Chains A and B, each alone.
Chain A
Amino acid sequence: MADLSSTFAGIRSPNPFWLASGPPTNCGEQIQRAFEAGWGGAVWKTLGDPIVNVSSRYSSVDWNGQRMMGLNNIELITDRPLETNLREITEVKKRFPQHAVIASIMVDSNREAWHTIVKRCEDAGADGLELNFGCPHGMSERGMGSAVGQVPDYACMITEWVKEVARTPVLVKLTPNVTDIRMVARAAKRAGADALSAINTINSITGIDLDTLTPRPNVGGMSSHGGYCGPAVKPIALHLIQQIAADPQAVLPLSGIGGISGWREAAEFILLGCGTVQVCTAAMHHGYRIVEDMIDGLSNWMDDKGFRTIEDFRGLSVPKITEWKHLDLNYKIVARINRETCIGCDLCYIACWDGAHQCIHFDARPPAGITVTPVSRPEALRATGGPTPPARIPHVDETECVGCNLCWLVCPVENCISMAKIDTGAPPQSWAQRTEA
């Protein structure tokens, strides 16, 4: 049985699955239920001077009949009094001493204010602090959140203030709304941060109501840009994590966030170097209960792979990402279509023809023209579920195929198109080597 327990920058938790700062971590009662459901840790909804929120606050992007592929919000930090939150932190820690409770914090750019909130949170019993330098809406207009996270010098200064008084580990949560995330990550590291969390939400406008012409979410006929998260942002988050993980001047223990909704995404973030992962949208969508399969699925996968602990596989994929110029130009694959399983949808044909390299063909296709009812009744009956007509099964001209993968990506049938390795006889050679020679 795999051991999922985690020690992250000195913070211990029964598993690496933490709830990210947000609505699921708004109050102590919620966090206690989350811990009962199996979550290993929780980053409290960002604490600071209580704010006033608007309604509505969320909007989403649906895709292909599925709800909430991406979620956008214009919510600010906690709207509850600091005293209440601190009292509840103490209660939660009393009942769940083994679980990680992290206080996310954000106050004005004023040394005293930061010193005060750090001390109060630690006095309440928080296991660590997460500095919210990422909130991209509302708070940034007031000089906080991503207004700090977008300027390495500010991020460095505030992290230093916090480190002057902090007794627990300090995580800096980064915004993706920058041209190079490594610059802020390096600044945080210089200032002595113990760990980094990434990513916060991405600036977004999810869409416009085509009846009222008002973008969503609609607040009395007006809207404002928000922060995007949910399954849609995972590839962006993974890339930013990889950027930090591969940069010696930036790398610190990493808590991965962005589009994680199950154990598979969690494994991906860990493979790119994360020690813990955080979840917000998926818990908002389906509730705390999703953690059950995250724990179960990850342990089963680890057992199958022979990994005993998280450390056994953490970061294993980092060295497998390199610069393009080091990829082997002589590695060649081609597409092959399995005639037995092809259903004749011909999506690969049109994809290669219009979107790739025009190398998928038909042997025999009768010309289109005026037809009368094509088949007589008994024949039509037999056609139901019959074999794919040979004229609808395409084939690949392997001499022209560039091995782009497009046909394989569009094919709806599992294992119908495969990408086969061709031996070119040539030794591996990268662009860097070729231009050197």
Chain B
Amino acid sequence: MTASSVVPANLERFPDLHPALDSQSAVAEANRCLFCYDAPCTAACPTHIDVPRFIRKIGSGNLRGSALTILDANILGLSCSRVCPVDVLCEGSCVMHRYNKKPIEIGRLQRYAIEHGKASIACPAPGDAALNVACVGGGPASLSCAAELRRHGARVTVFDNRPLPGGLNTYGVAEYKLRPTDSLREVEMIRAMGVEFRQAEIGGAIPLSQLEAEFDFIFIGVGLGAMDRLGIPGDQLPGVIDALRFIERYKTQPSFAPGRTVIVIGGGNTAIDAANAAVRLGAQDVHLFYRRTPNEMPAFPFEYDHAKIEGVRFHWLAKPIAVVEVAGRAAAVRFANTRLTGPAGDGRQTIEVIPDSEYEVACDTVIPALGQSRLTSTLHLEINGSSVAVDRPTGRTSNPKYYAGGDCVNGGREVVDAVADGKRAALGMLSNGMAKHG
């Protein structure tokens, strides 16, 4: 697959959720910004983009300066402008909320600045004494780590096991937020900064020991693994496809269709993304079943609201018992009703199944959207719970040759968290390397 083979029909089926600003409205919106001193939005952004500064540059017509202000803090400023849950990050902290006014549209202004700023980042050529770093995984965490290292003159190779780099930015994020072509444009920018990209499975075709011998440091940015299985009878039948594979498929395969009736199982943002996509791909009825209630749902409230507008129907307190087979395919899911039985030690509501409450819902496709497994067990690093344990300010693991960041460290958060992790790890390696090289 190449960048141009993105599914063309997706452009129409998944129009931008937040359309681009034109220059008049961008300047008007920029001029609404109060230019707060020590601005809370900058603190709320995990990569600490100097938000008032880049917005002021939009107002002054200095778009290249604006784009560079963003990229300086966050090399994936473009994808972040489109995928970040801004309501709980920068825009959520805007002082305008307390003044009964709409927060400044930071995300859309950020997109405007980068799309119109035509900025490129010059990097020094690696010298003889340059650090040589391998980044394992080609998602946001590694991309950010690699770019930061290149800006300081290091030599960097990114290894990713997929045909295209970009991680979930390329294969996972909802199409109406970010398209694979946009993700790949960012990859190209980072390639132009002098980062080398190689497709290879680390731990498979290339063992870690080989990297250890060739590189000064290794950054682990492998993200999370495959989706957990339902673990009920029939969960491997044709017609059952987990949310990650479902999303990847519609984003990359032109003639993919989910059928008439779709059942999504789970209550996270990925479940919502899958359900919304099923609607847009032509399913007539899309039902989302969740074991608990809306209060316990891990999805962001604005994602839940969006799904209701898309036409997804929600069903609460329902636990899947089995996938029902007809003619070798999934034809229905059997659910049992549940009730909440009070918070457990971790504060989450536990549930119990209500006896004799089972019922079946017919469907063409079942999309489980449970948690993702961890890939880190094959790495010989200290594990905290099921994630790699690091020193947060530097990303350094218990093995001083290894640094890590992104979903594999934080257990699965946002793109911008992965970018922040990658950058911090790069700076950690650079100061460590500096000490080493004297």
For residue B396, CB closer than 8 A to chain A, the reply is no
Q: Which of B26-80 contact A (CB under 8 A)?
A: 27-28, 31, 34-38, 40, 43-44, 46, 48
Q: Which of B291-337 contact A (CB under 8 A)?
A: 300-301
Q: How far is the CA of A368 from the CA of B42 in the complex (A)?
A: 12
Q: Are B40 and A392 in contact (CB under 8 A)?
A: yes
For residue B87, CB closer than 8 A to chain A, the reply is yes
Which of A64, A384, A386 has most B Cβ within 10 Å? Answer: A384
User: What residue of chain B has the Cβ atom nearest to residue A387's Cβ?
Assistant: B98
Query: Please, which residues of chain B bring their CB within 8 A of the CB of A349?
Result: 37
Q: Are A381 and B301 in contact (CB under 8 A)?
A: yes
Q: How far is the CA of A371 from the CA of B43 in the complex (A)?
A: 9
A13 to chain B, nearest CB (A): 39
For residue A373, CB closer than 8 A to chain B, the reply is yes
A65 to chain B, nearest CB (A): 4
Q: Are B89 and A380 in contact (CB under 8 A)?
A: yes
For residue A359, CB closer than 8 A to chain B, the reply is no
Query: Please, which residues of chain B bring their CB within 8 A of the CB of A383?
Result: 44, 88, 92-93
Given known pairs A343-B95, A343-B96, A343-B98, the reply for A373 and B417 (CB within 8 Å) is: yes
Query: Please, which residues of chain B bring their CB within 8 A of the CB of A368?
Result: 38
For residue B149, CB closer than 8 A to chain A, the reply is no
Q: Which of B72-115 contact A (CB under 8 A)?
A: 87-89, 92-93, 95-99
Q: Are B92 and A344 in contact (CB under 8 A)?
A: no
For residue A345, CB closer than 8 A to chain B, the reply is yes
B-contact bits for A314-351, CB 8 A (1 contact / 0 none): 00000000000000000000000000000111110110
Q: Are B38 and A346 in contact (CB under 8 A)?
A: yes
B43: which of A374, A384, A385, A413 is its contact (CB, 8 Å)? A374
Q: Are B44 and A374 in contact (CB under 8 A)?
A: yes
Query: Please, which residues of chain B bring their CB within 8 A of the CB of A381?
Result: 88, 92, 300-301
Q: Which of A404-437 contact B (CB under 8 A)?
A: 412-413
Query: Please, which residues of chain B bring their CB within 8 A of the CB of A350?
Result: 37
For residue B420, CB closer than 8 A to chain A, the reply is yes
A372: which of B300, B301, B393 is its contact (CB, 8 Å)? B393
Q: How far is the CA of A413 from the CA of B301 in the complex (A)?
A: 29
Q: Are A345 and B420 in contact (CB under 8 A)?
A: no
Q: How far is the CA of A242 from the CA of B9 in the complex (A)?
A: 69
Interface size class of B (residues with CB under 8 A): 20 to 34
For residue B392, CB closer than 8 A to chain A, the reply is yes
User: What residue of chain B has the Cβ atom nearest to residue A377's Cβ?
Assistant: B88
Q: Are B99 and A412 in contact (CB under 8 A)?
A: yes
Q: Are A372 and B420 in contact (CB under 8 A)?
A: yes
Q: Are A373 and B31 in contact (CB under 8 A)?
A: no
User: What residue of chain B has the Cβ atom nearest to residue A62's Cβ?
Assistant: B27
For residue B179, CB closer than 8 A to chain A, the reply is no
A35 to chain B, nearest CB (A): 36
For residue B424, CB closer than 8 A to chain A, the reply is yes
Q: Are B98 and A372 in contact (CB under 8 A)?
A: no
Query: Please, which residues of chain B bring their CB within 8 A of the CB of A370?
Result: 393, 424
Q: Are B99 and A413 in contact (CB under 8 A)?
A: yes
Q: Are B95 and A385 in contact (CB under 8 A)?
A: no
A384: which of B37, B97, B99 is its contact (CB, 8 Å)? B97
A373: which of B28, B46, B87 is its contact (CB, 8 Å)? B46
Q: Are A373 and B93 in contact (CB under 8 A)?
A: no
Q: Which of A343-401 contact B (CB under 8 A)?
A: 343-347, 349-350, 368, 370-375, 377, 380-381, 383-388, 392
Q: Are A344 and B393 in contact (CB under 8 A)?
A: no
Q: Are B43 and A344 in contact (CB under 8 A)?
A: no
Q: Are B89 and A344 in contact (CB under 8 A)?
A: no
A408 to chain B, nearest CB (A): 15
Q: How far is the CA of A385 from the CA of B35 in the complex (A)?
A: 18
For residue B413, CB closer than 8 A to chain A, the reply is yes
Q: How far is the CA of A371 from the CA of B95 in the complex (A)?
A: 21
User: What residue of chain A has the Cβ atom nearest to residue B417's Cβ?
Assistant: A373
Q: How far is the CA of A331 from the CA of B317 in the complex (A)?
A: 70
B88: which of A344, A371, A380 is its contact (CB, 8 Å)? A380
B326 to chain A, nearest CB (A): 41
Q: How far is the CA of A117 from the CA of B96 in the complex (A)?
A: 61
Q: Are A345 and B27 in contact (CB under 8 A)?
A: no
A32 to chain B, nearest CB (A): 36
Which of A344, A371, A373, A374 has most B Cβ within 10 Å? Answer: A373
User: What residue of chain B has the Cβ atom nearest to residue A365's Cβ?
Assistant: B38
Q: How far is the CA of A349 from the CA of B40 in the complex (A)?
A: 15
User: What residue of chain B has the Cβ atom nearest to residue A410's Cβ?
Assistant: B34
Given known pairs A370-B424, A372-B392, A374-B44, the reply for A65 and B98 (CB within 8 Å) is: no
Q: Are B89 and A345 in contact (CB under 8 A)?
A: no
Given known pairs A345-B95, A388-B98, the reply for A412 and B31 (CB within 8 Å) is: no
Q: How far is the CA of A380 from the CA of B40 in the complex (A)?
A: 12
Q: How far is the CA of A388 from the CA of B94 in the complex (A)?
A: 11
User: What residue of chain B has the Cβ atom nearest to residue A381's Cβ?
Assistant: B88
Q: How far is the CA of A350 from the CA of B35 in the complex (A)?
A: 11
B34: which of A371, A375, A385, A412 is its contact (CB, 8 Å)? A412
Q: Are B31 and A65 in contact (CB under 8 A)?
A: yes
Query: Please, which residues of chain A bring their CB within 8 A of the CB of B392?
Result: 372
Q: Are B95 and A344 in contact (CB under 8 A)?
A: yes
B387 to chain A, nearest CB (A): 14
B89 to chain A, nearest CB (A): 7
Q: Chain A: residues with CB nearer than 8 A to chain B?
A: 64-65, 343-347, 349-350, 368, 370-375, 377, 380-381, 383-388, 392, 412-413
A-B contact pairs, 18 of them (CB 8 A): A65-B27, A343-B95, A345-B34, A347-B36, A372-B46, A374-B43, A374-B46, A377-B300, A380-B44, A381-B92, A383-B93, A384-B92, A384-B93, A384-B97, A385-B97, A388-B95, A392-B40, A412-B99
Identify the 5 closest CB pairs spanning chains A and B, nearest first.
A350-B37, A346-B37, A385-B97, A380-B88, A343-B98
A sample of 16 more A-B contacts (CB under 8 A), given A380-B88, A384-B88, is A64-B31, A65-B27, A343-B96, A345-B36, A346-B36, A371-B43, A373-B46, A373-B413, A373-B420, A377-B300, A380-B44, A381-B92, A384-B97, A385-B98, A388-B98, A413-B99
